[in-house]
Chain A
């Protein structure tokens, strides 16, 4: 079904009103040589029932967090979210609306995005936030551009412990803009503040540090950002985990100027990597250079408090080549899910979630380290994710775990992690969803596989 709604009488009447005999007449300006006379070589149309069968069959050929115990993280997490989110987000008034350019017809979306921006600002401990970007990786790249555009400097210092895919995206984005990326090497899985100090110069636009980092280690943001700020104007960019903010010090508390991160954990499904949402928050001074949409508070003709898109002169549809970014479409619906999630759990719920992640991750880490040959790779503090050295080939661990219904974590070696490591390390994430029973089975499995 192609979802058109005209019958032959309608078509006849409409052609007559235009004064033509057939729809083909409307395409007459197009040379025959480029009309696709044969039609496309695609499968014939499927009815809705056939579609349901075909889709169900494809979905059934996948295994994941719905039928396995998922200990995978590295930028995408199997967190709980309440059932009401799927219900509310399905409302066609949200789902099938466009970008709220017409304030008088879009107060619902606008208020929700204003609330989202306010929640992200509070979550990060910063002043402002935009209405979302594509994902965590592109948000980090936009944060870097925000800093280079503001300072007009040409170097960014990037922690080696930043998610390798984020580093890869940064490299692609900055490649043609004459901006150098200098990698800050780690010591015991973290960036030492003295490394920041040694590398930060008058040419440094930004220092980018993720915490918890790709290994799960909690970085010394305060120490590193303090050193970065010894050079005037250098921006401290914190790449953060929004669930971690429930209990850990926020980017703002640690002296960050800009915070960027992946918002999937806030009420969004794993979705094989997308759609997710990029989070970007900053100090107030960055307001007029922010990329992406911003919703602002204003009044209407009768003096009521209302909302509208604002500072649109930053954006591509007004400014063209001089825009602060080419971003147009954002991740509005995902941002609304994140906002619904935060509204439902609030500070207290987020804190409880974060604490449960902490306790469960530490429980599993301790139990695994009690096994012969299994040991923590790094000594520092971690939150919901940690790196463990396996006594046998990590590929074997992953493969055998699959057969037991366990997704045991992300192997640090191989192309998938952009060559992060050569060793047999497993990066393991534990969310509030994992039960003691699942973790004990995981530990039993590890014991068995390595003995």
Chain B
């Protein structure tokens, strides 16, 4: 019955998008709410929550399978990765993930899944079709951020307490290099052409841009916001637009998203969003960017062309991760 209602809602949303000229494309946005163990499903056309589902305990990292039939969620306190059917939102299976999974990234080919296990200093490589652990890669203390090159050959894992970005060859699972970055690195994100990887450091308050070929540091980006204490500027989520012109960086308790020109590494603008902004996701057409604001329990919606915050949407308690589906 829940299934039927969900499909109806989806169909309605789809129709609404068709019949309302000038309206935005309707995509499905999934937001994990860390504190109340739910996922809020937002219709990006209506910009409202259309459904909330109960998931495992302390849901954080979230992603979609390549065919978007599955929604994958790190249920950190259940020590598993849960797989939901995006059509029915029923639990399909749980993947072996190693303890306390926080963030993960899917290989561009669609398999395997790389999971950061904060509690035991490992990156676990999981085959999501066979439900098996393919490999465990020892990294630094408290691995969290994972980025993968567009060709899938290079994985970057950040260790929060070791303050390093580990560059891992996905064929051999060997670490080929370690780059020391600023304190508490949280997220690693490749540019769409694979020529740079951007690494955010929450406590260090900076972004380090690294050339993945040479592991040379290309730039350090610092932030300064009038009236905001420097200690409150804590970069976490990073997203880079497909045309690679702009990068968006969530600045945590500074309650801002920084907009950075990727050619000059200069901050162009700070957009005021909700409180303690952590993760970001574009819609597939890259017209909108969704931000999870933990402390204010809402999601801010940024119009990417106008660089304006156009809406804030109340979700569950302490939203953490966000992913947007094409459908």
The reply to whether chain A is a binding partner of chain B is no
